Amino acid sequence: MTDARSPEPSIAAREPAEPASPPPCHLLDLVAEGLLPAGWEETVAALADAPECLTLSRTDQWSFSVVQGDVVCDRLGWLWELYHGVLRDFATRACSRPVVAAARLRSTMTLNILSGPGASSDWHRDNNAVTGLFFATARTDGGGDLLFRDAAGRESAVTPRPGLFVCFPGAIEHRVAPIADGRRLSLPMVYHDSTADQPPAYGDDVYVL
Ligand SMILES: O=C(O)CCC(=O)C(=O)O
Ligand SMILES: [Fe+2]
């Protein structure tokens, strides 16, 4: 017997949910590839606690801090090498455009630290040809996915896990969904189309490989 009072259509009569679209990025599992040194997770976690860490925004509940590229280069030499080698080559192939590393040392790559309930980043586009992201922590309970949004407003998600590298054209809108608690560590990497077509470096921001 059906319940005539129910205003809800039956499940079968509902429109089928739109299938989730795949995220517009390319994935490389650096753990599976055997490209990460023993103890790398502890080294990244220690860097997130280092005095060189700069807090950019803070509320009662959460904070957003970064460690800049000059320090990352110094302390995570293995990732610096990957940034200029394997990851750059992967990004070039995956995104079908030759990319080069950023000329400015401090913005080549950063360690981003989102900490505390609600920590997130808003929808934005990156001002570079291709963005790489290396995840150093797993999805926190119920949050912290990397979300993409297409021109029609459809969203897709990548769930962080330690050692996962993703890359995508910087022009694609993306954000970090709020974390439930704990600390989310990621290392965004900047790639440009050419050495000429990017902001130049000056002074102690210049580096030589
Ligand atoms: O940490 C992430 O997953 C995204 C970071 C990001 O979008 C950025 O730094 O521009
Ligand atoms: Fe971004």
The full set of domain ranges for the chain reads 20-192
Per-residue pLDDT band for 158 (boundaries 50, 70, 90) equals: very high
CA distance 102 to 105: 7
Q: Which atom belonging to ligand 1 lies closest to the Cα atom of 126?
A: 10
**Which of 125, 131, 156 best tests ligand 1's pocket when mutated (most atoms within 8 Å of CB)?**
131
Is 173 strand, coil or helix?
strand
Question: What residues have their beta carbon closer than 5 A to ion ligand 2?
Answer: 126
Per-residue pLDDT band for 17 (boundaries 50, 70, 90) equals: low
Average pLDDT over residues 184-196: 96
- Look up tokens 């993409």; give the residue: 148
Tell the residue nearest (CA) to atom 1 of ligand 1: 186
Q: Which two tokens stand for residue 66?
A: 């970064």
Average pLDDT over residues 51-65: 97
End-to-end CA distance of the chain: 76
Is 37 strand, coil or helix?
coil
Distance 208 CA to ligand 1 centre (A): 26
CB atoms within 10 A of CB 204: 9
Alpha carbon separation from 122 to 9, 136, 148, 172, 208 (Å, rounded) = 36, 20, 11, 13, 34
Average pLDDT over residues 76-85: 98
Architecture of domain 20-192: Sandwich (2.60)
Q: What is the C-alpha R_g of the chain?
A: 20
CB atoms within 10 A of CB 118: 14
Tell the residue nearest (CA) to atom 6 of ligand 1: 188
Distance 102 CA to ligand 2 centre (A): 15
Distance 175 CA to ligand 2 centre (A): 7
Tell the residue nearest (CA) to atom 4 of ligand 1: 176
Q: What does pTM read for this prediction?
A: 0.90
Task: Answer whether residue 206 shows pLDDT above 80.
Answer: yes
- Look up tokens 């009662």; give the residue: 60
Is 159 strand, coil or helix?
coil
